[in-house]
Structure 1
Amino acid sequence: MIIVGRIGHPYGILGWIHIVSFTEIKKNIFSYFPWILEKSRINLYKNDMIMYRKHRDQFIIKLKNIDNRNQTLNFIKQNILIKSNQLPILNNQEYYWHNILYCHIFNLKNKKIGLVTEILENKIYNTLKIFTIKNSKYIYIPFIQPDIIKKIDINNKIIIIS
């Protein structure tokens, strides 16, 4: 299961709910149904949603049979999960972030540096947050291929850096 978004707080009094999309193209979250809500294990299918619309930098949705703010409380503050086989197959040298998480980082001399614990997105380049083995601290490595990230072996969960 992969987290592709989060159900946010209610919007207004008529049962609309905020959706935070974690997909690279935010609107793509609506291409991956069914959604499984993490805490309640409720399945939401495309036909459960009456409509969605852009609201600021995210979205709001209107679900069937949810007509007021109180009815949204069963849905809010839950991660939206999908099965990994719902994602499109990628080309060579393309990766989903969930494949990069928890990869072991080695340098070119095959010395283990640490473990990828988080991926931070910014406007210039993405950054890997690495928990180091040596001193139990975090370091940050830019995800720049091939200058810094030399090799990625998803099957063995290994990343080689310079």
Structure 2
Amino acid sequence: MENEELITIGRVSRAHGLKGELAVMPLISDTEIFLHLDEVYVKTRAATERKKIKAVRRHKKSLLIRFENCETPEDARLYRGAEILVKKSVIPELPEGVYYRHQIIGMKVYTGNDEYLGDVTAIIETGSNDVYAIKGADREYLIPAIKDVVKEIDVESNRMIVELMEAVEE
């Protein structure tokens, strides 16, 4: 495999139908990228391998993907839980102030007073805004991803500055 960084853009939730399709839950907001891919990398517990895409279509909140040489439900079941990755160069640049999940997860989080809170471990999608789960040395924080709380995100230095609300600090 080439040395270019791979980015996770989806996760296989289950096999779908009788033709070897995989139901994939996208992990990026711009799902249009899936419709234009010729190949992806699939990361299972055993290995990461390059797969040629035979077909992609939208289905409810997920996407249905067929790989070459994946023709039966039994073939498709082998990929349950696998991550779908692409080369970083494939995903488009986002406008300023908009970030991909992989850019946020793992970021170091500090208060405006330079107090280290922890690392972003997950992004929870809610109806109105995302919430960042931050794991510190002695506690966890749930920080709403809104401008009143998240004051600065610096992807280059892998650093986020937040202003904690009173209820969060208690």
Q: Please confirm whether the aligned pair reaches a TM-score higher than 0.5, indicating the same fold.
A: yes
The yes-or-no answer on 1:42 pairing with 2:49 is yes
Name the residue aligned to 2:155: 154
CA distance in 1, matches of 2:117, 2:66: 46
CA distance in 2, matches of 1:105, 1:44: 36
Aligned pair partner of 1:123 in 117, 124, 127: 127
The yes-or-no answer on 1:60 pairing with 2:64 is yes
Query: Judging changes above 3 Å, is the alpha-carbon distance between structure 1 residues 37 and 153 closer, same or farther for their aligned structure 2 residues?
Result: same
Letter in 1 for 2:51: L
In the alignment, structure 1 segments of 5+ residues that lack a partner are none
TM-score by length of 2: 0.79
On the 8 A contact 1:11/1:69 being kept in 2, the answer is yes
CA distance in 2, matches of 1:13, 1:95: 37
TM-score by length of 1: 0.82
Query: Judging changes above 3 Å, is the alpha-carbon distance between structure 1 residues 18 and 90 closer, same or farther for their aligned structure 2 residues?
Result: closer
The yes-or-no answer on 1:31 pairing with 2:36 is yes
Q: Post-superposition shift, 1:38? A: 0.7
Query: Judging changes above 3 Å, is the alpha-carbon distance between structure 1 residues 8 and 105 closer, same or farther for their aligned structure 2 residues?
Result: closer
CA distance in 2, matches of 1:144, 1:27: 25
On the 8 A contact 2:28/2:101 being kept in 1, the answer is no
In the alignment, structure 2 segments of 5+ residues that lack a partner are 1-5, 164-170
On the 8 A contact 1:7/1:78 being kept in 2, the answer is yes
Cα shift readout 1:76-107 (whole Å, capped 9, x = no counterpart): 43111112222112333232221112222111
Query: Judging changes above 3 Å, is the alpha-carbon distance between structure 1 residues 66 and 160 closer, same or farther for their aligned structure 2 residues?
Result: closer
4+ residue stretches of structure 1 with deviation over 6 A?
A: none
State how many pairs are aligned.
156
CA RMSD of superposed structures (Å):
2.1
Query: Judging changes above 3 Å, is the alpha-carbon distance between structure 1 residues 87 and 149 closer, same or farther for their aligned structure 2 residues?
Result: same
User: What is the identity percentage for the equivalent residue pairs of Structure 1 and Structure 2?
Assistant: 21
Cα shift readout 1:11-39 (whole Å, capped 9, x = no counterpart): 22232222222221334323344310112
Name the residue aligned to 2:167: none
Q: Post-superposition shift, 1:65? A: 4.2
Greater mean alpha carbon deviation, residues 114-123 or residues 72-81: 72-81
